[in-house]
Amino acid sequence: MRWRAVRIAGAVVLAATVAAATAACSARPSDPPGQVFGSGSTPAGAIVAIGAENQYADVIGQVGGKYVRATAIMSNPNTDPHTFEASPRVAQQVSRAQLVVQNGLGYDGFMDTIENAAPNGSRKVIDVQHLLGLPDSAPNPHLWYKPGTMATVATAVAADLGAIQPAHAAYFKANATAFTNALAGWTAALSAFKTKFPETAVATTEPVADYLLAAAGAVNMTPWSFQADIMNGNDPSPQDLETMRRLFTGRQVTAFLYNQQVTDSLTGSFITLAHQNGIPVVGVYETMPTPGYDYQSWMLAEVRALTKAVASKTSTEHL
C-alpha cells in the first residue's frame, strides 16, 4: 500500500466474524460508531447504510432522505484518517449494513477486511475506485475532491437504495438529481477561479486537494515525490526539501495548501516559511468538517478559501 495504511484494531476481524450472530443483542441503533446522516429517528424499515468517510455518508443521507439512516465510520476532522483504528463496534455496524460506500484505492482497506470477515450476500457495496473505473495504481486516493465523483456516487446510491426498497426508487432518484444540481455552486466557483486566476502557481504538503486544484486550473509546483512522501508518512528527500524551500523563499507560488488533519514539525516549518515570505496559507480537510457543512458547502468553502488567499496575494503584489 502506497499511502499510510489505515490500521485495524486486533479484535476487529474476530468481532466481524461473529457480528452477524451477535448484532441484535450487542449493537444498538442508538450506539453507532460515528456521525449519522439521513433519518436520525431510525423509523421502522429505514435502510441501514454506512459511509466509510463522512462525506460519503452525507451523500447517502441526502439521497436516501427519510428512508435511510447512514452512519459515518470516519467523521472526526481532527483525526488523521490514515491512522484510523477500526473497533469491534465498527465491525458490528458494517456487518448489519444493507449498503456500504467506501473509497477504495487502499484508503479505507479496513472495510474490505470487515466485509470479508462477515459475508452478507444481500449487502450492496459501492467502491468508488471501481465505480470510477480507476486502477489500483492510481496515485491519489482523495477521490471526493474530483468534480464529478460525487454525482456519480449519488446516482449509484440511488440505484442501490431503489433496489433495496423499490417502492421508493423514484424518491431516491429525484434526491440524487437534486444533489447533483446542488453541486452547481462549487463548479461555478471553480470555473470563476480558473478564469480570474489562470495557471496560478501553488504549493501543497500532500495531494489532498490536487483534483480540486487541477479543476481550478492551478499549477501545483510541489514535486509529486514530496507529496507522496508526506502522504505515506515518509521522510522527503533532501532535494525535495530544498525545492520546497525555494518555492517559498523565491516567492514562486501564490498560495500554500496543507492538510489540517495531518501536521507535524516538517509541515509546520513550511507553514512558518510561507508566512515569513508573505505567501497565504490555506488549510484543507480530508474528511468533511462538521457540524455546519454538507458535501456541497464544504467543497464550495474550500474553493472560496483558495480564492480569497490568491486574491489577497495578487492585490498585495499590485500595490
Q: What CATH code is carried by the domain that includes residue 109?
A: 3.40.50.1980
pLDDT tens-place string over residues 158-189: 999 999 999 999 999 999 999 999 999 999 99
pLDDT tens-place string over residues 240-265: 999 999 999 999 999 999 999 888 99
Residues 149 and 209 placed together within one structural domain of the fold: no
pLDDT tens-place string over residues 260-281: 988 899 999 999 999 999 999 9
- What is the tally of structural domains in the chain? 2
In-domain check, residue 176: yes
Which residue would you say has higher pLDDT here, 22 or 216? 216
The rounded percent of the chain whose pLDDT value lies above 70 is: 83
In-domain check, residue 6: no
Range(s) of the domain holding residue 81: 12-181
pTM for the model stands at 0.87
Residues 31 and 147 placed together within one structural domain of the fold: yes
Residue 84 has pLDDT above 90, yes or no: no
Q: Are the C-beta atoms of residues 81 and 260 closer than 8 Å to each other?
A: no
In-domain check, residue 261: yes
Last residue of a domain, one of 181, 215, 243: 181
Residues 106 and 95 placed together within one structural domain of the fold: yes
In-domain check, residue 105: yes
How much is the pLDDT for 261? 86
In-domain check, residue 1: no
In-domain check, residue 5: no
Residues 47 and 164 placed together within one structural domain of the fold: yes
Grid coordinates belonging to 168: 421508493
pLDDT tens-place string over residues 50-79: 999 999 999 999 999 999 999 999 876 666
Helices 295-317 + 54-64 axis angle, to 10:
130
Residue 283 has pLDDT above 50, yes or no: yes
In-domain check, residue 111: yes
Residue 3 has pLDDT above 50, yes or no: no
Q: What is the average per-residue pLDDT within 206-235?
A: 97
How much is the pLDDT for 299? 98
Measured distance CA(132)–CA(203) in Å, rounded = 27
In-domain check, residue 17: yes
Residues 163 and 53 placed together within one structural domain of the fold: yes
Residues 176 and 261 placed together within one structural domain of the fold: no
pLDDT tens-place string over residues 119-158: 888 999 999 999 999 999 999 999 999 999 999 999 999 9
Mean pLDDT over each residue of the chain, to the nearest integer: 86
Q: What is the average per-residue pLDDT within 95-104?
A: 96
